[in-house]
Structure 1
Amino acid sequence: MPKHTNANVVDVEIAFPAEAGSRSVPRIDIATLEEVGTSVKLMFWEAKMLGNPELRTSGKKTIVRQIETYRTRLGQQAALVIESYALIARNLVALAHMSEGARTVAPVVRKVAEGAALTLSSPPDVRVIVYGFDKDQRDGAWKKLLADNAGQFKGIEILARGNPGDIRL
Protein backbone atom coordinates (compact mmCIF):
# COMPACT_ATOMS: atom_id res chain seq x y z
CA MET A 1 0.00 0.00 0.00
CA PRO A 2 1.46 3.41 -0.91
CA LYS A 3 2.40 5.66 1.96
CA HIS A 4 0.15 8.71 1.99
CA THR A 5 1.72 12.11 2.36
CA ASN A 6 0.12 14.59 4.70
CA ALA A 7 -1.73 11.81 6.54
CA ASN A 8 -2.39 14.27 9.37
CA VAL A 9 -4.82 16.23 7.16
CA VAL A 10 -8.28 15.62 8.60
CA ASP A 11 -10.46 18.06 6.68
CA VAL A 12 -10.51 20.27 3.60
CA GLU A 13 -12.64 23.22 2.48
CA ILE A 14 -13.96 23.97 5.97
CA ALA A 15 -16.88 26.37 5.55
CA PHE A 16 -18.13 28.89 8.10
CA PRO A 17 -21.64 30.32 8.04
CA ALA A 18 -21.95 33.51 6.03
CA GLU A 19 -22.05 36.78 7.94
CA ALA A 20 -25.51 38.31 8.28
CA GLY A 21 -26.45 40.02 5.03
CA SER A 22 -23.56 38.44 3.11
CA ARG A 23 -23.68 35.72 0.49
CA SER A 24 -19.97 34.99 0.89
CA VAL A 25 -19.11 31.82 2.80
CA PRO A 26 -15.58 31.90 4.27
CA ARG A 27 -13.68 28.62 3.78
CA ILE A 28 -10.35 27.51 5.23
CA ASP A 29 -8.57 25.13 2.90
CA ILE A 30 -7.05 22.51 5.24
CA ALA A 31 -7.20 21.28 8.84
CA THR A 32 -4.36 19.19 10.28
CA LEU A 33 -3.42 17.56 13.55
CA GLU A 34 0.08 17.99 14.99
CA GLU A 35 1.51 16.19 18.02
CA VAL A 36 2.75 18.55 20.71
CA GLY A 37 4.02 16.63 23.73
CA THR A 38 1.18 14.51 25.12
CA SER A 39 -1.53 16.52 23.39
CA VAL A 40 -2.45 17.20 19.79
CA LYS A 41 -2.80 20.66 18.26
CA LEU A 42 -5.44 21.51 15.68
CA MET A 43 -4.04 23.71 12.93
CA PHE A 44 -5.57 25.32 9.86
CA TRP A 45 -4.03 26.27 6.53
CA GLU A 46 -5.07 28.64 3.77
CA ALA A 47 -3.47 27.83 0.39
CA LYS A 48 -2.78 30.42 -2.32
CA MET A 49 -0.93 30.37 -5.62
CA LEU A 50 1.78 33.04 -5.75
CA GLY A 51 -0.14 35.00 -8.39
CA ASN A 52 -3.30 35.23 -6.29
CA PRO A 53 -4.05 38.93 -5.67
CA GLU A 54 -5.31 38.07 -2.16
CA LEU A 55 -1.66 37.62 -1.13
CA ARG A 56 -1.29 41.37 -1.40
CA THR A 57 -2.06 43.20 1.80
CA SER A 58 -4.05 46.10 0.42
CA GLY A 59 -7.56 46.13 -0.94
CA LYS A 60 -10.83 44.68 0.29
CA LYS A 61 -9.98 40.99 0.06
CA THR A 62 -6.53 40.09 1.41
CA ILE A 63 -4.94 37.07 2.98
CA VAL A 64 -4.33 39.03 6.18
CA ARG A 65 -8.06 39.81 6.51
CA GLN A 66 -8.93 36.20 5.72
CA ILE A 67 -6.62 34.92 8.46
CA GLU A 68 -8.06 37.43 10.94
CA THR A 69 -11.61 36.32 10.05
CA TYR A 70 -10.72 32.64 10.42
CA ARG A 71 -8.98 33.19 13.76
CA THR A 72 -11.95 35.17 15.08
CA ARG A 73 -14.52 32.61 13.93
CA LEU A 74 -12.53 29.65 15.26
CA GLY A 75 -11.86 31.41 18.56
CA GLN A 76 -15.56 32.20 19.05
CA GLN A 77 -16.42 28.52 18.79
CA ALA A 78 -13.20 26.93 20.08
CA ALA A 79 -14.84 24.29 22.30
CA LEU A 80 -17.24 23.24 19.55
CA VAL A 81 -14.43 23.13 16.97
CA ILE A 82 -12.31 20.91 19.25
CA GLU A 83 -15.26 18.61 19.97
CA SER A 84 -16.07 18.36 16.25
CA TYR A 85 -12.52 17.44 15.24
CA ALA A 86 -12.27 14.84 18.00
CA LEU A 87 -15.42 13.29 16.52
CA ILE A 88 -13.91 13.47 13.03
CA ALA A 89 -10.83 11.59 14.30
CA ARG A 90 -13.05 8.88 15.80
CA ASN A 91 -15.00 8.63 12.55
CA LEU A 92 -11.83 8.34 10.46
CA VAL A 93 -10.58 5.52 12.68
CA ALA A 94 -13.95 3.77 12.44
CA LEU A 95 -13.92 4.07 8.64
CA ALA A 96 -10.39 2.68 8.50
CA HIS A 97 -11.48 -0.26 10.66
CA MET A 98 -14.47 -0.95 8.38
CA SER A 99 -12.18 -0.93 5.31
CA GLU A 100 -10.38 -4.06 6.56
CA GLY A 101 -6.96 -2.54 5.94
CA ALA A 102 -7.67 -0.74 2.67
CA ARG A 103 -7.66 2.61 4.48
CA THR A 104 -5.31 3.72 7.22
CA VAL A 105 -5.10 6.73 9.49
CA ALA A 106 -2.10 8.62 10.77
CA PRO A 107 -0.96 7.76 14.30
CA VAL A 108 -1.85 11.32 15.39
CA VAL A 109 -5.44 10.82 14.22
CA ARG A 110 -5.65 7.53 16.13
CA LYS A 111 -4.21 9.25 19.21
CA VAL A 112 -7.04 11.82 19.19
CA ALA A 113 -9.62 9.12 18.52
CA GLU A 114 -8.37 7.28 21.59
CA GLY A 115 -8.81 10.33 23.80
CA ALA A 116 -5.61 12.40 23.62
CA ALA A 117 -6.24 16.04 24.47
CA LEU A 118 -6.96 18.08 21.35
CA THR A 119 -6.05 21.76 21.64
CA LEU A 120 -6.60 24.91 19.64
CA SER A 121 -4.21 27.81 20.16
CA SER A 122 -5.41 31.21 21.26
CA PRO A 123 -5.56 32.86 18.81
CA PRO A 124 -6.18 29.78 16.66
CA ASP A 125 -3.24 28.67 14.54
CA VAL A 126 -4.06 29.58 10.93
CA ARG A 127 -1.11 29.38 8.55
CA VAL A 128 -0.61 30.09 4.86
CA ILE A 129 0.72 27.87 2.09
CA VAL A 130 2.01 29.68 -0.98
CA TYR A 131 2.68 27.51 -4.02
CA GLY A 132 2.88 27.56 -7.80
CA PHE A 133 6.06 29.46 -8.55
CA ASP A 134 9.38 28.78 -10.22
CA LYS A 135 12.90 29.70 -9.04
CA ASP A 136 12.86 33.13 -10.72
CA GLN A 137 9.47 33.98 -9.21
CA ARG A 138 10.62 32.74 -5.79
CA ASP A 139 13.77 34.82 -5.89
CA GLY A 140 12.05 37.87 -7.38
CA ALA A 141 8.29 38.23 -6.94
CA TRP A 142 8.00 36.21 -3.72
CA LYS A 143 10.90 37.87 -1.93
CA LYS A 144 9.66 41.31 -3.00
CA LEU A 145 6.12 40.51 -1.84
CA LEU A 146 7.41 39.41 1.57
CA ALA A 147 9.70 42.42 1.91
CA ASP A 148 7.00 44.89 0.86
CA ASN A 149 4.48 43.39 3.29
CA ALA A 150 6.65 42.21 6.19
CA GLY A 151 4.68 44.21 8.76
CA GLN A 152 1.32 42.89 7.55
CA PHE A 153 2.47 39.26 7.49
CA LYS A 154 3.90 39.50 11.01
CA GLY A 155 2.44 36.73 13.15
CA ILE A 156 1.34 34.64 10.16
CA GLU A 157 3.44 31.56 9.49
CA ILE A 158 3.96 31.00 5.77
CA LEU A 159 5.05 27.77 4.09
CA ALA A 160 6.24 28.46 0.53
CA ARG A 161 6.72 25.63 -1.96
CA GLY A 162 6.97 26.28 -5.68
CA ASN A 163 5.78 22.77 -6.50
CA PRO A 164 2.58 21.86 -4.63
CA GLY A 165 3.72 18.22 -4.70
CA ASP A 166 6.51 19.23 -2.30
CA ILE A 167 4.13 20.42 0.42
CA ARG A 168 4.34 18.42 3.66
CA LEU A 169 2.17 19.56 6.55
Structure 2
Amino acid sequence: MSNPVSVFRALSPGFLDALEALAERPGWWQDVLAHPDLILAVRREAVNFYYRGASIFRVTFPNGTVTAETHAKYLLRQRQTTVRLDPTGAFGIDPATAISTSYAGPTTLTEMLRAATALSGLEKTGLHRLLRHAPNVIDVEIALTSSIADSADTDGEDASGALLDSTVPISVSRSPDRLDVASLEERAEPGEAWLVFHEAKIAANPELRAAPSGQPAIVAQVSRYTTTLTREADHLASGYQLLCRDLIRLDALRQRVQRAAGVSEADLWRRDPLVAEVAEGARRLRVDPRPRLVVFGFDADQRDGIFGTHLKRLQAEPFSLAVRAIGNPGAGTSNAFRRP
Protein backbone atom coordinates (compact mmCIF):
# COMPACT_ATOMS: atom_id res chain seq x y z
CA MET A 1 0.00 0.00 0.00
CA SER A 2 1.38 3.41 -0.89
CA ASN A 3 1.99 6.08 1.70
CA PRO A 4 0.42 9.56 1.33
CA VAL A 5 2.65 11.86 -0.66
CA SER A 6 1.92 14.57 1.90
CA VAL A 7 4.12 12.66 4.34
CA PHE A 8 7.02 12.75 1.94
CA ARG A 9 6.78 16.24 0.51
CA ALA A 10 7.41 18.45 3.53
CA LEU A 11 10.16 19.65 5.85
CA SER A 12 9.60 19.98 9.59
CA PRO A 13 9.37 23.51 11.03
CA GLY A 14 12.46 22.80 13.13
CA PHE A 15 14.45 21.85 10.05
CA LEU A 16 13.42 25.03 8.24
CA ASP A 17 14.29 27.13 11.31
CA ALA A 18 17.72 25.48 11.47
CA LEU A 19 18.35 26.14 7.77
CA GLU A 20 17.49 29.82 8.22
CA ALA A 21 19.80 30.09 11.23
CA LEU A 22 22.63 28.34 9.37
CA ALA A 23 22.29 30.80 6.49
CA GLU A 24 23.43 33.60 8.81
CA ARG A 25 26.92 32.07 9.06
CA PRO A 26 29.51 31.89 6.25
CA GLY A 27 30.04 28.36 4.99
CA TRP A 28 28.86 25.72 2.55
CA TRP A 29 25.14 26.45 3.11
CA GLN A 30 25.53 30.11 2.25
CA ASP A 31 27.58 29.21 -0.81
CA VAL A 32 24.98 26.72 -2.07
CA LEU A 33 22.10 29.15 -1.56
CA ALA A 34 24.01 31.97 -3.23
CA HIS A 35 24.84 29.98 -6.37
CA PRO A 36 22.31 30.94 -9.08
CA ASP A 37 22.79 27.81 -11.17
CA LEU A 38 21.76 25.08 -8.71
CA ILE A 39 18.32 23.46 -8.78
CA LEU A 40 16.67 23.01 -5.37
CA ALA A 41 14.30 20.11 -4.69
CA VAL A 42 12.41 19.30 -1.49
CA ARG A 43 12.28 15.70 -0.32
CA ARG A 44 11.05 13.96 2.81
CA GLU A 45 12.89 15.90 5.53
CA ALA A 46 15.69 16.58 3.05
CA VAL A 47 16.71 19.14 0.45
CA ASN A 48 18.66 18.19 -2.68
CA PHE A 49 20.66 20.59 -4.83
CA TYR A 50 21.15 19.48 -8.43
CA TYR A 51 23.58 20.51 -11.11
CA ARG A 52 23.22 18.94 -14.56
CA GLY A 53 21.38 15.98 -13.07
CA ALA A 54 23.93 15.45 -10.29
CA SER A 55 22.88 15.65 -6.65
CA ILE A 56 25.70 17.93 -5.48
CA PHE A 57 24.42 18.13 -1.91
CA ARG A 58 21.72 16.28 0.00
CA VAL A 59 20.86 18.19 3.17
CA THR A 60 19.13 16.37 6.05
CA PHE A 61 18.30 16.95 9.71
CA PRO A 62 19.27 13.86 11.76
CA ASN A 63 19.04 14.35 15.53
CA GLY A 64 18.26 18.03 15.05
CA THR A 65 21.50 18.83 13.23
CA VAL A 66 21.73 20.13 9.65
CA THR A 67 23.92 17.65 7.78
CA ALA A 68 25.10 17.62 4.16
CA GLU A 69 26.38 14.73 2.10
CA THR A 70 27.63 14.28 -1.45
CA HIS A 71 29.06 11.54 -3.62
CA ALA A 72 32.82 11.09 -3.57
CA LYS A 73 33.02 11.40 -7.35
CA TYR A 74 32.10 15.09 -7.07
CA LEU A 75 35.14 15.65 -4.86
CA LEU A 76 37.59 14.64 -7.60
CA ARG A 77 39.63 17.63 -8.69
CA GLN A 78 39.82 18.15 -12.43
CA ARG A 79 43.41 19.35 -12.34
CA GLN A 80 46.12 16.78 -12.92
CA THR A 81 45.94 15.11 -16.32
CA THR A 82 48.91 12.73 -16.57
CA VAL A 83 49.99 10.33 -13.84
CA ARG A 84 53.14 8.22 -14.08
CA LEU A 85 53.13 4.54 -13.08
CA ASP A 86 56.46 3.74 -11.45
CA PRO A 87 58.24 0.32 -11.58
CA THR A 88 56.80 -0.66 -8.18
CA GLY A 89 53.26 -0.33 -9.48
CA ALA A 90 52.53 2.90 -7.64
CA PHE A 91 50.88 5.87 -9.33
CA GLY A 92 52.85 9.08 -8.89
CA ILE A 93 50.07 11.23 -7.55
CA ASP A 94 49.48 13.14 -4.34
CA PRO A 95 45.94 12.28 -3.12
CA ALA A 96 45.63 15.81 -1.73
CA THR A 97 45.82 17.18 -5.27
CA ALA A 98 43.34 14.62 -6.64
CA ILE A 99 40.44 14.93 -4.23
CA SER A 100 38.96 17.56 -1.96
CA THR A 101 39.17 16.40 1.64
CA SER A 102 37.58 19.48 3.23
CA TYR A 103 35.22 22.26 2.24
CA ALA A 104 37.31 25.39 1.67
CA GLY A 105 34.71 27.86 0.49
CA PRO A 106 33.24 28.70 -2.94
CA THR A 107 36.31 27.34 -4.75
CA THR A 108 35.45 23.86 -3.46
CA LEU A 109 31.87 24.20 -4.69
CA THR A 110 33.19 25.33 -8.08
CA GLU A 111 35.41 22.25 -8.29
CA MET A 112 32.48 20.01 -7.36
CA LEU A 113 30.41 21.48 -10.18
CA ARG A 114 33.33 21.02 -12.56
CA ALA A 115 33.53 17.35 -11.58
CA ALA A 116 29.78 16.95 -12.12
CA THR A 117 30.06 18.59 -15.55
CA ALA A 118 32.65 16.01 -16.61
CA LEU A 119 30.19 13.23 -15.73
CA SER A 120 27.04 14.76 -17.23
CA GLY A 121 25.59 13.52 -20.48
CA LEU A 122 23.97 15.69 -23.14
CA GLU A 123 20.45 14.86 -21.97
CA LYS A 124 21.03 15.97 -18.36
CA THR A 125 23.00 19.03 -19.46
CA GLY A 126 20.23 20.12 -21.81
CA LEU A 127 17.54 19.49 -19.21
CA HIS A 128 19.44 21.62 -16.69
CA ARG A 129 19.42 24.54 -19.13
CA LEU A 130 15.67 24.21 -19.53
CA LEU A 131 15.14 24.07 -15.77
CA ARG A 132 17.31 27.10 -15.12
CA HIS A 133 14.81 29.23 -17.04
CA ALA A 134 11.56 27.63 -15.80
CA PRO A 135 10.14 29.45 -12.75
CA ASN A 136 6.97 27.32 -12.72
CA VAL A 137 8.93 24.11 -12.03
CA ILE A 138 8.51 22.89 -8.46
CA ASP A 139 10.17 19.46 -8.47
CA VAL A 140 12.73 17.38 -10.36
CA GLU A 141 13.89 13.75 -10.40
CA ILE A 142 10.58 12.40 -9.12
CA ALA A 143 11.00 8.72 -8.37
CA LEU A 144 8.10 6.31 -8.16
CA THR A 145 9.11 3.34 -6.05
CA SER A 146 7.99 0.92 -3.37
CA SER A 147 7.31 2.03 0.19
CA ILE A 148 10.09 -0.13 1.57
CA ALA A 149 12.65 2.20 -0.02
CA ASP A 150 10.98 5.48 0.87
CA SER A 151 14.00 7.00 2.61
CA ALA A 152 16.81 5.32 0.71
CA ASP A 153 19.19 7.03 -1.65
CA THR A 154 20.23 5.66 -4.98
CA ASP A 155 23.65 4.17 -5.43
CA GLY A 156 25.03 7.53 -6.52
CA GLU A 157 24.20 7.48 -10.22
CA ASP A 158 23.78 10.98 -11.63
CA ALA A 159 20.57 10.15 -13.37
CA SER A 160 18.75 9.68 -10.08
CA GLY A 161 20.55 11.55 -7.33
CA ALA A 162 17.22 12.07 -5.55
CA LEU A 163 15.63 10.25 -2.68
CA LEU A 164 13.31 7.46 -3.69
CA ASP A 165 9.92 8.89 -2.82
CA SER A 166 7.28 6.45 -1.62
CA THR A 167 4.42 7.59 -3.79
CA VAL A 168 3.37 4.31 -5.36
CA PRO A 169 3.98 0.60 -4.96
CA ILE A 170 5.81 -1.16 -7.75
CA SER A 171 7.66 -4.41 -8.06
CA VAL A 172 11.02 -4.18 -6.30
CA SER A 173 12.48 -6.46 -8.95
CA ARG A 174 12.79 -3.65 -11.48
CA SER A 175 14.23 -0.16 -11.41
CA PRO A 176 11.85 2.56 -10.25
CA ASP A 177 10.16 4.75 -12.80
CA ARG A 178 11.27 8.34 -12.63
CA LEU A 179 9.66 11.49 -13.98
CA ASP A 180 11.99 14.37 -14.74
CA VAL A 181 9.97 17.46 -13.85
CA ALA A 182 6.81 18.65 -12.09
CA SER A 183 5.42 22.11 -12.85
CA LEU A 184 2.40 24.29 -12.17
CA GLU A 185 0.23 25.95 -14.78
CA GLU A 186 -2.98 27.94 -15.13
CA ARG A 187 -5.93 26.84 -17.21
CA ALA A 188 -9.48 28.09 -17.69
CA GLU A 189 -10.63 28.03 -14.06
CA PRO A 190 -9.07 30.97 -12.11
CA GLY A 191 -9.40 29.21 -8.76
CA GLU A 192 -7.34 26.22 -9.84
CA ALA A 193 -3.73 25.37 -10.65
CA TRP A 194 -2.66 22.21 -12.43
CA LEU A 195 0.22 19.98 -11.42
CA VAL A 196 1.79 18.65 -14.61
CA PHE A 197 4.55 16.08 -14.91
CA HIS A 198 7.08 15.96 -17.72
CA GLU A 199 9.41 13.38 -19.18
CA ALA A 200 12.35 15.08 -20.92
CA LYS A 201 14.27 13.38 -23.73
CA ILE A 202 17.04 14.50 -26.02
CA ALA A 203 16.19 14.01 -29.70
CA ALA A 204 18.90 11.36 -30.08
CA ASN A 205 17.30 9.11 -27.44
CA PRO A 206 16.38 5.81 -29.14
CA GLU A 207 13.32 5.42 -26.90
CA LEU A 208 11.55 7.93 -29.17
CA ARG A 209 11.87 5.72 -32.23
CA ALA A 210 10.69 2.35 -33.45
CA ALA A 211 10.14 0.58 -36.73
CA PRO A 212 6.95 1.67 -38.53
CA SER A 213 5.18 -1.44 -37.29
CA GLY A 214 6.55 -1.21 -33.75
CA GLN A 215 5.89 0.85 -30.64
CA PRO A 216 8.55 3.25 -29.33
CA ALA A 217 9.62 2.45 -25.77
CA ILE A 218 8.51 5.86 -24.55
CA VAL A 219 4.86 4.94 -25.18
CA ALA A 220 4.80 2.18 -22.56
CA GLN A 221 6.77 4.37 -20.19
CA VAL A 222 4.24 7.20 -20.40
CA SER A 223 1.39 4.72 -20.03
CA ARG A 224 2.83 3.48 -16.72
CA TYR A 225 3.19 7.06 -15.51
CA THR A 226 -0.43 7.82 -16.40
CA THR A 227 -1.68 4.84 -14.43
CA THR A 228 0.33 5.88 -11.40
CA LEU A 229 -0.63 9.56 -11.53
CA THR A 230 -4.30 8.72 -11.93
CA ARG A 231 -4.28 6.45 -8.91
CA GLU A 232 -2.28 8.82 -6.71
CA ALA A 233 -3.87 12.14 -7.74
CA ASP A 234 -5.30 13.01 -4.32
CA HIS A 235 -2.06 12.21 -2.50
CA LEU A 236 -0.06 14.18 -5.03
CA ALA A 237 -2.29 17.23 -4.72
CA SER A 238 -2.06 17.36 -0.92
CA GLY A 239 1.65 16.55 -0.87
CA TYR A 240 2.62 19.14 -3.43
CA GLN A 241 0.68 21.88 -1.67
CA LEU A 242 2.91 21.29 1.36
CA LEU A 243 5.95 21.25 -0.89
CA CYS A 244 4.97 24.65 -2.28
CA ARG A 245 4.82 26.07 1.25
CA ASP A 246 8.37 24.92 1.89
CA LEU A 247 9.56 26.27 -1.45
CA ILE A 248 8.22 29.74 -0.67
CA ARG A 249 10.17 29.85 2.59
CA LEU A 250 13.33 28.40 1.07
CA ASP A 251 13.14 30.73 -1.93
CA ALA A 252 12.89 33.77 0.36
CA LEU A 253 15.94 32.55 2.24
CA ARG A 254 17.79 31.95 -1.00
CA GLN A 255 17.01 35.40 -2.36
CA ARG A 256 18.19 37.03 0.87
CA VAL A 257 21.51 35.19 0.71
CA GLN A 258 21.92 35.88 -3.01
CA ARG A 259 21.34 39.60 -2.57
CA ALA A 260 23.90 39.70 0.25
CA ALA A 261 26.35 37.87 -2.03
CA GLY A 262 25.90 40.46 -4.77
CA VAL A 263 23.82 38.38 -7.20
CA SER A 264 22.04 40.73 -9.61
CA GLU A 265 18.27 41.10 -9.44
CA ALA A 266 18.02 39.56 -12.91
CA ASP A 267 19.79 36.39 -11.74
CA LEU A 268 17.91 35.92 -8.46
CA TRP A 269 16.12 32.59 -8.17
CA ARG A 270 12.40 33.36 -8.55
CA ARG A 271 9.29 31.19 -8.69
CA ASP A 272 6.09 31.66 -10.61
CA PRO A 273 3.42 33.45 -8.47
CA LEU A 274 1.29 30.31 -8.86
CA VAL A 275 3.53 28.56 -6.32
CA ALA A 276 2.61 31.04 -3.57
CA GLU A 277 -1.08 30.88 -4.52
CA VAL A 278 -1.09 27.09 -4.21
CA ALA A 279 0.88 27.23 -0.96
CA GLU A 280 -1.63 29.67 0.57
CA GLY A 281 -4.66 27.71 -0.64
CA ALA A 282 -5.78 30.50 -2.95
CA ARG A 283 -5.89 27.96 -5.76
CA ARG A 284 -7.02 24.35 -5.60
CA LEU A 285 -4.31 22.07 -6.90
CA ARG A 286 -5.41 19.52 -9.49
CA VAL A 287 -3.29 16.78 -11.05
CA ASP A 288 -3.01 16.18 -14.78
CA PRO A 289 -2.46 12.41 -15.04
CA ARG A 290 -1.18 12.68 -18.59
CA PRO A 291 2.57 13.37 -18.57
CA ARG A 292 3.95 15.70 -21.19
CA LEU A 293 6.91 14.57 -23.29
CA VAL A 294 9.45 17.39 -23.68
CA VAL A 295 11.90 16.77 -26.53
CA PHE A 296 14.96 18.96 -27.10
CA GLY A 297 18.35 18.99 -28.77
CA PHE A 298 17.50 19.33 -32.45
CA ASP A 299 17.66 22.03 -35.11
CA ALA A 300 15.25 23.16 -37.81
CA ASP A 301 16.63 20.76 -40.43
CA GLN A 302 16.16 17.80 -38.09
CA ARG A 303 12.67 18.97 -37.16
CA ASP A 304 11.69 19.13 -40.82
CA GLY A 305 13.34 15.79 -41.62
CA ILE A 306 13.09 12.23 -40.35
CA PHE A 307 13.10 13.27 -36.70
CA GLY A 308 10.02 15.40 -37.26
CA THR A 309 8.33 12.33 -38.70
CA HIS A 310 9.06 10.40 -35.50
CA LEU A 311 7.56 13.19 -33.38
CA LYS A 312 4.39 13.35 -35.48
CA ARG A 313 4.01 9.60 -35.14
CA LEU A 314 4.19 9.88 -31.33
CA GLN A 315 1.50 12.56 -31.36
CA ALA A 316 -0.83 10.72 -33.73
CA GLU A 317 -3.08 7.77 -32.98
CA PRO A 318 -2.73 5.17 -31.65
CA PHE A 319 -0.01 6.64 -29.35
CA SER A 320 -1.45 10.16 -28.91
CA LEU A 321 1.34 11.45 -26.66
CA ALA A 322 1.37 15.05 -25.50
CA VAL A 323 4.65 16.20 -27.03
CA ARG A 324 6.40 19.53 -26.54
CA ALA A 325 9.21 19.98 -29.08
CA ILE A 326 11.67 22.61 -27.85
CA GLY A 327 14.67 22.52 -30.19
CA ASN A 328 18.01 23.51 -28.70
CA PRO A 329 17.73 24.64 -25.04
CA GLY A 330 18.93 28.08 -24.05
CA ALA A 331 17.95 31.31 -22.33
CA GLY A 332 15.01 31.73 -24.68
CA THR A 333 13.33 28.43 -23.78
CA SER A 334 11.61 29.50 -20.56
CA ASN A 335 8.33 27.98 -21.79
CA ALA A 336 9.54 24.37 -22.00
CA PHE A 337 7.36 23.27 -19.08
CA ARG A 338 4.37 25.49 -19.75
CA ARG A 339 1.16 24.62 -21.55
CA PRO A 340 1.62 24.78 -25.35
Q: Structure 1 length as normaliser, TM-score? A: 0.86
Unaligned runs of 5+ in 2: 1-35, 37-131, 147-169, 259-268
Give the structure 1 partner of residue 233 of structure 2.
Answer: 78
1:10 equivalent in alignment to 2:138: yes
Aligned residues: 163
Question: Aligned-pair RMSD on alpha carbons?
Answer: 2.1
CA distance in 1, matches of 2:302, 2:329: 15
Give the structure 1 partner of residue 208 of structure 2.
Answer: 55
Identity %: 40
Output the amino acid matched with 1:143: G
Q: Which moved more, 1:101-110 or 1:11-20?
A: 101-110
Give the structure 2 partner of residue 67 of structure 1.
Answer: 222
Structure 1 pair 132–67 and aligned structure 2 pair: CA distance change class (3 A): same
Question: Would you tell me which structure has more strand in proportion to its own residues?
Answer: 1
1:117 equivalent in alignment to 2:268: no
CA distance in 1, matches of 2:271, 2:299: 33
Output the amino acid matched with 2:140: V
Give the structure 1 partner of residue 181 of structure 2.
Answer: 30
Other structure's SS at 1:164 match = coil
Unaligned runs of 5+ in 1: none
Q: CA deviation at 1:135?
A: 2.0
Structure 1 pair 5–147 and aligned structure 2 pair: CA distance change class (3 A): closer
Superposed CA deviations along residues 30-58 of structure 1, whole A, max 9, x for unmatched, are: 10000222210000111111111111253
8 Å Cα contact 1:131/1:162 also seen in 2: yes
Output the amino acid matched with 2:180: D
CA distance in 2, matches of 1:40, 1:148: 30
Structure 1 pair 151–100 and aligned structure 2 pair: CA distance change class (3 A): closer
CA distance in 2, matches of 1:44, 1:146: 19
Give the structure 1 partner of residue 119 of structure 2.
Answer: none
Q: Which moved more, 1:37-46 or 1:14-23?
A: 14-23
8 Å Cα contact 1:64/1:152 also seen in 2: no
Other structure's SS at 2:295 match = strand
Output the amino acid matched with 1:12: V
Give the structure 2 partner of residue 40 of structure 1.
Answer: 193
Output the amino acid matched with 1:24: S
Q: Structure 2 length as normaliser, TM-score? A: 0.45
Give the structure 1 partner of residue 3 of structure 2.
Answer: none
Output the amino acid matched with 2:177: P
Output the amino acid matched with 1:142: F
Output the amino acid matched with 1:8: N
Q: CA deviation at 1:82?
A: 0.8
Give the structure 1 partner of residue 301 of structure 2.
Answer: 136
Give the structure 1 partner of residue 273 of structure 2.
Answer: 107
